[in-house]
Amino acid sequence: MDKVNVTINGITVNVPKDYTVLMAAREAGIDIPTLCFLKDINEIAACRVCVVEVDVKGVPMRNLPASCVLQVQDGMNVRTNTPKVRSAVKMNVELILANHNRECLTCLRNGTCELQKLCDELGIDDIEFQGAKREAKIDNLSYSIVRDSSKCILCGRCVSTCRDVQGIGILDFTKRGFKTEVAPAFDFSMKDVPCVYCGQCIQACPVAALRERSYIDDVWDAIDDPEKFVVVQTAPAVRASLGEEFGYPVGTDVTGKMVAALKRLGFDKVFDTNFSADLTILEEGTELLSRVTNGGKLPMITSCSPGWIRYCELNYPEFLDNLSTCKSPQQMFGAIVKSYYAEKEGIDPSKIVSVSVMPCTSKKTEANRPEMEVDGYRDVDYSLTTRELGDMIKRARISFTKLPDEHTDSILGDYTGAGAIFGATGGVMEAALRTVADILTGKDLDSIEYQAVRGIEGVKEASVVLPIGGVDTEVKVAVAHGTANAAKVLESVKAGEKDYHFIEVMACPGGCVHGGGQSHVSAKARLDVNPKINRANALYELDRSLPKRKSHKNPEVMKLYEDYLKEPNGHLSHKLLHTHYVKRDSYIVEQEEEFAKMLEKLDK
């Protein structure tokens, strides 16, 4: 790439010519403020907070251009700290604030709000232009996501993320001028639109306009109820992000402290979803082998990610039979707790409250799917996000950083490295291959790291030669993360271009480590740190440190089969651990009359 010389505030830097002024300024050690900018996702020059004064070879550019989209030119002279720029940036932030619900002290994002931080950095001490505010609406009807228009600053980060990263596009700008807002079509509730509740919009949101629906109070109530036996499971990816809530670098594994904190919060038993991840491998691996050998529907596609399941039900119903019938590890865990565990410990399952901590917002909706129960007992009663757990720990005044490392409880707390890596894209595939390869070869293989399925490339492919029915067969697999990438893979399968045996799909880019429930990493911090990579590395590190790294070596899981389930995909497994899927309509219109009225209104 050709390079050009650009001078920023008197500092000359030599940068590739496709750089923006914003990126060039970083090279010069100058931090231009941004708000709507989300690298590679939302570069739309909308907030006008990154404006600069520029001249090119002595000729001043008209007005104040936005540095986030302004491409560098040789001989460009940029000034970011002139009275004109300072005043313009300040005024634009003030204009945003004037139309923002400024209840910062009682806001969920107090402390992690990017707008709040910007105000601090820019020294906003007064909002000169006050006046009317946009109509405030709160939509908290879905199980997963709350939309609060009074907080929305119309940066468009969620819009671009949903549309371009996820390929879904349920959020967009609606109305015009001062009345502009970001909303689903027809101002429908998030519960009635083809949202998969992945929560990537929450991850993109710099403020609290999009946030998870909180179940913290329900969980406190359960803990405080002496009649209830409250058990908690934590998903693989949570441990790689929870520390960020307490100042640890992005991607620090805090398993021990997390367990200690959960015990101090008052949960009766602290278990681990890693356990049921191992269990999933046995069920799903067995299902795969049976499909391959018995001519079942292929490719088989993983079903751990509820966002993905919903996406498939909404957009690719023709692939429903390809989905593994296995419940997700969250649901499997819940089902086991209220059956096997209750029976073993002699606890009345109606007294058990099953709580999960997930990196995910879609898990909240999954837990509430009507079919997710056995004998009338809900698999999971409340699903919390990593952030909610962080909040609970803070509210309980637990000094997280000073906690000792503690261990999960038996008999549902043991896990292998294979379960641990579920949180990263490719992790389920790798865990499955470890077990399937052992079973098919009848050996305890040493080579267990499948590098081809690791990393953050959108679609990954690999093939392994394994003996199936005595014949060496090339088993072809694919891994996709982010629903847009999932669509690509499905389209290639549909077109007959690809023929895989097994596909792993995670709804979130990077997999669960970058789920919608994980700790917020600001747009600015993401320029230096990639949470997808850092958190995945933490999980692979954990995997390497564990004595057992294959799911079928998990002693507690094997004991579960021995004592209770008898065999993978057996009768009891089917009752407890497997589920079914349905084709879903995209826009639910409960009252047709209302819809007709709406159309009429549009016609006018």
Partner 1 sequence: MKIFRSHVLVCGGTGCSSSNSALIKQRFEEKIKELNLDEEIQVVSTGCFGLCEEGPIVIIYPEGSFYARMTVERVDEICEEHLLKGRIVRKYLFDESAREEKIKPLSEVEFYKKQKRVALRNCGVINPEDISEYIARDGYMALGKVLTEMTPTEVIQLVKDSGLKGRGGAGFSTGMKWSFAAPNQADQKYVICNADEGDPGAFMDRSVLEGDPHAVLEAMAIAGYAIGATKGFIYVRAEYPIAVHRLEIAIKQAKETGLLGKNLFNSGFDFDVEIRLGAGAFVCGEETALMQSIEGKRGMSRNKPPFPANKGLWGKPTIINNVETLANVPQIILNGPGWFKSFGTVKSPGTKVFALGGKINNTGLVEVPMGTALREVIYDIGGGCPNNKEFKAVQTGGPSGGCLTKDHLDIPIDYDNLTAVGSMMGSGGMIVMDEDNCMVDIARFFLDFTVDESCGKCTPCREGTKRMLEILDKITEGKGTMEDLDKLEKLAINIKETSLCGLGQTAPNPVLSTLKYFRDEYEAHVLEKRCPAGVCQSLLRYIITMDCKGCTKCARICPVGAIEGKVKEIHVINQDKCIKCGACMDACTFHAIIKK
Residues that bind partner 1 (CB under 8 A): 44-49, 51, 63-64, 66, 69, 71, 84, 87-88, 91-92, 95-96, 98-99, 128-129, 131-132, 154, 156, 172-173, 175-180
Residue 94 is a catalytic residue:
no
- Name which of 154 and 508 has its Cβ closer to partner 1: 154
3-state class (DSSP) for residue 552: helix
Cα(233)–Cα(273) distance, integer angstroms: 5
- Name which of 179 and 402 has its Cβ closer to partner 1: 179
Residue 304 is a catalytic residue:
yes
A 10 A CB-CB count for 546 gives 14
- Name which of 96 and 506 has its Cβ closer to partner 1: 96
Residue 512 is a catalytic residue:
yes
Strand partners, 230: 353
Residue with the two structure tokens 């990493």 = 521
3-state class (DSSP) for residue 389: helix
Cα(166)–Cα(198) distance, integer angstroms: 9
- Residue 201 Cβ vs partner 1, minimum distance, rounded to whole Å: 18
Which of 121, 318, 345, 371 is the catalytic position?
371
Which of 363, 524, 550, 553 is the catalytic position?
363
Residue 36 is a catalytic residue:
no
First-to-last C-alpha distance (Å) of the chain: 53
Which of 212, 244, 245, 287 is the catalytic position?
287
Cα(346)–Cα(573) distance, integer angstroms: 21
- Residue 182 Cβ vs partner 1, minimum distance, rounded to whole Å: 10
What are the C-alpha distances in Å from 531 to residues 43, 152, 240, 522? Answer: 20, 24, 10, 10
What are the C-alpha distances in Å from 154 to residues 46, 142, 200? Answer: 9, 21, 16
- Name which of 88 and 260 has its Cβ closer to partner 1: 88
- Residue 5 Cβ vs partner 1, minimum distance, rounded to whole Å: 20
Cα(544)–Cα(549) distance, integer angstroms: 8
A 10 A CB-CB count for 181 gives 18
Residue 508 is a catalytic residue:
no
- Residue 119 Cβ vs partner 1, minimum distance, rounded to whole Å: 14
Residue 290 is a catalytic residue:
no
3-state class (DSSP) for residue 23: helix
Question: What token pair was written down for 254?
Answer: 């805090």
- Residue 86 Cβ vs partner 1, minimum distance, rounded to whole Å: 12
User: Which of 423, 46, 327, 360 has the alpha carbon at shortest distance from 203?
Assistant: 360
- Cβ neighbours of residue 252 closer than 8 Å, sequence gap 6 or more: 240, 243, 244, 538
Complete DSSP assignment for 482-526 = SHHHHHHHHHHHHTTS---SEEEEESSTTGGGG-TTSPP--TTGG
- Name which of 81 and 451 has its Cβ closer to partner 1: 81
Residue 556 is a catalytic residue:
no
Cα(338)–Cα(388) distance, integer angstroms: 24
Beta strands 76-79 and 53-56, pairing class:
antiparallel
- Residue 60 Cβ vs partner 1, minimum distance, rounded to whole Å: 12
Torsion sign, CA atoms 114, 120, 125, 128: negative
- Residue 34 Cβ vs partner 1, minimum distance, rounded to whole Å: 13
Which of 160, 305, 324, 519 is the catalytic position?
324
- Residue 49 Cβ vs partner 1, minimum distance, rounded to whole Å: 8
- Name which of 70 and 462 has its Cβ closer to partner 1: 70
- Name which of 53 and 139 has its Cβ closer to partner 1: 53
Residue 504 is a catalytic residue:
no
What are the C-alpha distances in Å from 19 to residues 133, 171, 312? Answer: 37, 29, 38
- Residue 89 Cβ vs partner 1, minimum distance, rounded to whole Å: 9
- Name which of 115 and 145 has its Cβ closer to partner 1: 115
Which of 50, 68, 512, 573 is the catalytic position?
512
Question: What token pair was written down for 446?
Answer: 């040493």
- Name which of 79 and 584 has its Cβ closer to partner 1: 79
Beta strands 11-16 and 269-270, pairing class:
unpaired
Which of 113, 155, 201, 304 is the catalytic position?
304
Residues designated as active site? 284, 287, 304, 324, 363, 366, 371, 512
